[in-house]
Amino acid sequence: MRRGFRDWLDALGADVVALQEVRCRVADLPPDAFGSYHLAYDPGQLAGRNGVAVLTRRPADQFTWMDDDNPFAAEGRLIGVHLADAPLDVISVYVPKGGVPLEVAPTDGGREGYTPEQQQARYERKADFLRLFTDELDARQADAEAHGRHLLVLGDFNIAHGPADISNWRGNLAHEGFLPGERAWLDAHLGPAPSHPRLAGRTILAPTLEWRSPTRQLIDVLRSQNPDADGPYTWWSWMGQAFTKDVGWRIDYHLASPELAKTASQPRVDRANTSETRISDHAPVVVEYEA
């Protein structure tokens, strides 16, 4: 709010807004944070962490994990709504950042000071989330189709799909967010990234994980309309000149069911003009749909 979120929200005038990492208890939400929008919010039970929301123009029926008996159900990482004014179900998701496997874990603590064993545990935990998320996406797509509705998945996936989705991809081949197993998960749901051929001949020590093939594919809307472009990136570190020099990652996605993706137009990243005026270290991905 201090950095201008409400001004951005009012100026954009979107019909649906998905938020991740809200990181705020319900009681502490500013009363005017979302204007006239209706809020569906799962803050989770981890104080000051995670939290996902969907803002809508009209009240919407909200849902969370179909299987609420999983280790992530109480973490505030997934919430969805059935829109009242369009045949559309919208999910907001925040995928764990994860870690790196022992094969490539730094022994000096790396960027965040985790031991190799802690890195491995974080890596395995992200993999567990992605396996459960595959089941969730299959179930939600099947449910939406049965009711004549589309599915749109919005969120921070903490994975760059291909070299075109990360500015310094050569230097991040062994870092979380660009590991072979993570990219393979997106391959299973979206098909190979158009920029995958750039990886030919690269030796990567981290193992490629085996994933169950989903029963239905999704479409990476921004990439489908910009198959050959590098970026546009959606996340930049607060440190140094990353934002100014556009040293970023594309880790925030619109993943749409195929029929909905056909109606998409004007996909863009709403990037601030300067580092000082950005609301977050992430920039919103904005798309128009006819639903």
Is the per-residue pLDDT at 111 higher than 80?
no
pLDDT-derived band at 291 (thresholds 50, 70, 90) equals: confident
Is the per-residue pLDDT at 70 higher than 90?
yes
Which pLDDT tens digit goes with each residue over 16-27?
999 999 999 999
Query: What per-residue confidence (pLDDT) applies to 129?
Result: 98
Total number of domains in the chain: 1
Bond before 232 cis per omega within 30 degrees: yes
What dihedral do alpha carbons 261, 263, 265, 270 form, nearest 10°?
Answer: -50
List the CATH number of the domain containing 249: 3.60.10.10
CB contact at 8 A, 122 and 140? no
Query: What per-residue confidence (pLDDT) applies to 108?
Result: 86
Query: What per-residue confidence (pLDDT) applies to 144?
Result: 97
Domain that holds residue 92: 5-288
Q: What is the mean pLDDT of residues 132-143?
A: 98
CB contact at 8 A, 146 and 257? no
Position of tokens 């590991």? 179
Which pLDDT tens digit goes with each residue over 244-290?
999 999 999 999 999 999 999 999 999 999 999 999 999 999 999 99
Instruction: For the full predicted model, state whether its pTM sits above 0.95.
Output: yes
Is the per-residue pLDDT at 208 higher than 90?
no
Other C-beta atoms lying within 10 Å of the C-beta of residue 80: 27
pLDDT-derived band at 203 (thresholds 50, 70, 90) equals: confident
Other C-beta atoms lying within 10 Å of the C-beta of residue 209: 18
**Helix 116-146 × helix 180-190 angle, to 10°:** 10
- Read off φ and ψ for residue 93, nearest 5 degrees: -135, 145
- Percent of the chain residues topping a pLDDT of 90: 92
Q: Which of 195, 197, 242, 203 is nearest to 220 (CA)?
A: 195
Which pLDDT tens digit goes with each residue over 176-188?
999 999 999 999 9
Characterize the bridge pairing of strands 265-269 and 38-42.
unpaired
pLDDT-derived band at 200 (thresholds 50, 70, 90) equals: very high
Which pLDDT tens digit goes with each residue over 143-156?
999 999 999 999 99
pLDDT-derived band at 99 (thresholds 50, 70, 90) equals: very high
Q: Which residues of 105-144 are buried (b: 16+ CB within 10 A; e: fewer)?
A: bbeeebeeebebeebbebbebbbebbebbbebbbebbeeb
